[in-house]
Amino acid sequence: PANRGRLSSVERWTLEPDSVSLDPTDLAVVLFAAKVAAHTDRITENDVESLRAHGLADEQIFDIALAAAASCFFADAADSATG
């Protein structure tokens, strides 16, 4: 989908996490959201457990996944509307 092109900097963070000025929890959230956006079918229990290990509750993890999915939906809808 069109959203994959928007993830290039996030994917770079995956490969070079030390180059990011985010704290470890924020980085984990961003990387999880990016995975939801690009590869929803590849989300595993390990992805969720990683966020739990950073102190996030299941409700927060669900909100992150929902926000990432909604962002993709509206971005795709806007892309479709503009041609």
pLDDT 10s digits, 23-78: 889 989 988 998 998 888 999 999 999 999 999 999 999 999 999 988 877 666 66
Given a contact cutoff of 8 angstroms between Cβ atoms, the answer to whether 32 and 51 are in contact is yes
Residues 6+ apart with CB under 8 A from 67: 33
Interatomic CA distance for residues 45 and 13, integer angstroms: 21
DSSP-H helix ranges across the chain:
8-15, 24-39, 45-53, 58-82
* DSSP-assigned letter for residue 54: T
pTM, 2 dp: 0.73
Interatomic CA distance for residues 51 and 61, integer angstroms: 7
